[in-house]
Amino acid sequence: MNGQIRKLGIVMLVIYSALFIQLNMVQLIKADEYSANPANRREILRDFGKPRGQILAADGTVIARSVPDGGSFPFRREYPMGDLFAHIAGYYSFSFGSEGIERFYNDDLAGRTGKVTVDGIANLLVDEERTADVTLTISPAVQQVAKDALGTKRGSVVAIDPRTGALLALWSYPSFDPNAVSVNDQEAASKTRTALLANPANPMLAHAYRETYFPGSTFKVVTAAAGLSADKITPTEPAYPESQTYVPPLTKIPIRNFNNSTCGGTLFPILQVSCNTAFAQMGVDIGADTLVTTTQAFGFGEVPPIDLPNATASTIADVESFDRNTPVLAQTAIGQNAVRATPLQMALVAGAIGNAGVAMTPHVMSEIRNNDAQVIDRYEPRPWLKAIEPDVATILRDAMINVVERGTATRLAVPGVPTAGKTGTAQIGNGLSHAWIIGFAPADAPRVAIAVILEGQEGASEQTGGRVAAPIGRTVLTAALAATQ
């Protein structure tokens, strides 16, 4: 019997070894795969059981922090600046997941990136939470100016440093209080969120980079850029006829100038007064191919690689759809019908013109620091697109300076600083329009580019953009210039 007993011992050893091997499979080799399974709630519960890193503004102001909570989780997120940074920092809610920076840089904030943890291994035996703080490129001062300047008008303000792509302001009204959706009382959070979603103004949507609009006359700089890039126009040629109306081929419905005014001429005068008839004809003359190519070179049709989740691409219809449809091509050339842009995209257009034709990658993170305040990640500015040649950019810049000096955008002029700009009024029917302004300053070496939109303004004259949007643009430009000295 002893022989069998010994064999039984061997069998036991073998089957227990099999257990050991399988244990290694589950707890070591495939552990990461299992932990990443979406049905596994452990990660999110773990994250809610400990404090996250802070989100800080450019000047160190706390935008988001974890505070102890007596509710169902030990901590909750607090946003001391309320709605001011809601569309940037986002929120961090157990019931609704996360948004904004909280989402995009979650691994850093939760202390889960390689850099944080590799550093953390040395601290394994120390009872310390290894998380990282994210510092933004945006300072509350400029952001607050943008908020105050827009007031209670629905719209967005975007300010960006065209040299680096660093955002300086990113504000949309209405915004929302992220504290209310981040409370651990799930019922209260749910109620707040339902109310916000039911609001037709959709305050939770970061309109500045997630909503597209007709860019209106601000798009004329893109049309001009297309003509210049394709050598189909120059500052002196052609001179478009002085006219009240332009009737594109294949239709009898004319395109009119605002207030039925008469305008025409070469590039500078027609941009100065934002001449619809001339730019509509320019669009038809240069052709869909040229217009679409340059528009896409500015980033339309592509999601901007901003470090915020779910940015929206600006759009222009494809070349084929303009075939034998010159009326639509003519309207598109003046920023209506088949083109839509986010406020962020229009700021990038202005910035690219100011930055010798190169659009830098837009971003809101400036650096990430670990618990010991060591910088573990810094945003290195990098080009996103080369939209136009430098000489084309120079012509457009001068044309836009002219618009501010003599044209529709005089209200954009920052005192003592050469300013370039372009107004826009995108008609949306019922006598309403979106009022736009884009611009940059100082015009010769811009540190700030802006785009402002006010949605659904009364009136449909080209003066609308210059009257209501340009002053806001100037205020924000001034504040941002002061901040980037």
Partner 1 sequence: MTRSQPHSSPRATELGLIVLAALITTGAYILASFGTLASLPVNIGPFLVVILVLLLAAHIATRRLAPNSDRVLLPLAGLLNGIGYVIIARLDDSLAGLQATWTAVGVGAYILTLLIVRRTRDLERYRYTFMLIGVGLLLMPLLPVIGRNINGARIWVRVGPLSFQPGEPAKIALALFFASYLVEKRELLGKAARHLGPIALPKLRHLGPVILAWGASLVVMMAERDLGSSLLFFTFFVVMLWVATERASYLMIGSLLFSAGAVVAWQTFSHVQVRVSMWLNPWQGISQSVPQIAEATFAMAWGGIAGTGLGLGQPQRIPASETDFIFAAIGEELGLLGTTAMLVAFILMVGGGLRIALRARTPFDKLLATGLTAIMGFQAFIIIGGVIRLVPLTGITLPFVSYGGSSLVANYVLLALLMRISHAANSEDELHDSDGMGGLNPVVTGFEASS
Catalytic residues: 217
* Element spanning 366, H or E: strand 365-369
Q: Is 9 in the site for partner 1 (CB under 8 A)?
A: yes
Q: Is 5 in the site for partner 1 (CB under 8 A)?
A: yes
446, 404 contact by CB (below 8 A)? no
Residue 52 Cβ, how far from partner 1 at the closest point, in Å? 18
Q: Is 72 in the site for partner 1 (CB under 8 A)?
A: no
**How far is CA 296 from its chain centroid?**
17
* Cβ nearer to partner 1, comparing 46 with 191: 46
Please report, for residues 300, 369, 410, 432, 433, the alpha-carbon distance to residue 244 in angstroms, rounded to integers and kept in the order given: 31, 59, 23, 22, 21
Residue 3 Cβ, how far from partner 1 at the closest point, in Å? 7
Piece of the chain touching partner 1 by CB under 8 A; list 9-17, 152-160, 279-287, 467-475 = 9-17
Residues contacting 93, CB < 8 A, separation 6+ = 77, 181, 182, 189
**Site size for partner 1 (CB under 8 A):** 34
DSSP conformation class of 162: T
Q: Strand 240-243 vs strand 375-378: parallel, antiparallel, or unpaired?
A: unpaired
* Cβ nearer to partner 1, comparing 3 with 416: 3
Residues contacting 400, CB < 8 A, separation 6+ = 221, 271, 353, 409, 420, 421, 422, 439, 440, 443
* Cβ nearer to partner 1, comparing 2 with 194: 2
- Supply 63's token pair: 């935008």
* Cβ nearer to partner 1, comparing 23 with 239: 23
Q: Is 23 in the site for partner 1 (CB under 8 A)?
A: yes
Residues 101, 104, 107, 108, Cα dihedral to 10°: -40
Q: Is 126 in the site for partner 1 (CB under 8 A)?
A: no
- CA-derived radius of gyration, the chain: 27
* Cβ nearer to partner 1, comparing 3 with 200: 3
Q: Given 3-state DSSP classes, what are the helix, strand and coil percentages for the chain, each rounded to the nearest 5?
A: 45, 20, 35
Residue 125 Cβ, how far from partner 1 at the closest point, in Å? 11
* Cβ nearer to partner 1, comparing 20 with 241: 20
* Cβ nearer to partner 1, comparing 28 with 198: 28
Question: 457: helix, coil or strand?
Answer: strand
Q: Is 18 in the site for partner 1 (CB under 8 A)?
A: yes
* 61-93: b (≥16 Cβ within 10 Å) or e: bebbbbeebeeeeebbbbbebebbbbbbbbbbb
Q: Is 13 in the site for partner 1 (CB under 8 A)?
A: yes
Question: 30: helix, coil or strand?
Answer: coil
361, 247 contact by CB (below 8 A)? no
Among 22, 199, 251, 310, binds partner 1 (CB under 8 A): 22
Residue 95 Cβ, how far from partner 1 at the closest point, in Å? 18
| CA separation for the pair 217, 365 (Å, rounded) | 32
* Cβ nearer to partner 1, comparing 10 with 373: 10
Piece of the chain touching partner 1 by CB under 8 A; list 6-14, 253-261, 307-315, 405-413 = 6-14
φ/ψ of residue 383, rounded to 5: -65, 145
DSSP conformation class of 414: B
Subset of residues 31 to 50 that bind partner 1, contact rule: CB under 8 A: 31-35, 37, 39-42, 45-46
Q: Is 125 in the site for partner 1 (CB under 8 A)?
A: no
DSSP conformation class of 52: P
Residue 276 Cβ, how far from partner 1 at the closest point, in Å? 54
Residue 25 Cβ, how far from partner 1 at the closest point, in Å? 8
The residue behind tokens 């929120």 is 91
Residue 112 Cβ, how far from partner 1 at the closest point, in Å? 14
Q: Is 195 in the site for partner 1 (CB under 8 A)?
A: no
Concatenated DSSP letters of 75-94 = EEEE-TTGGGGHHHH--EET
223, 291 contact by CB (below 8 A)? yes
Which string of x and - marks every residue 407-446 that binds partner 1 (by CB under 8 A)? ----------------------------------------
* Cβ nearer to partner 1, comparing 5 with 198: 5
425, 461 contact by CB (below 8 A)? yes
Piece of the chain touching partner 1 by CB under 8 A; list 28-36, 111-119, 134-142, 446-454 = 28-36
Q: Is 253 in the site for partner 1 (CB under 8 A)?
A: no
Q: Is 324 in the site for partner 1 (CB under 8 A)?
A: no
Piece of the chain touching partner 1 by CB under 8 A; list 10-18, 98-106, 295-303, 445-453 = 10-18
Q: Is 251 in the site for partner 1 (CB under 8 A)?
A: no
Q: Is 28 in the site for partner 1 (CB under 8 A)?
A: yes
Applying CB under 8 A, the residues found at the interface with partner 1 are 1-6, 8-9, 12-13, 15-16, 18-20, 22-24, 26-28, 30-35, 37, 39-42, 45-46
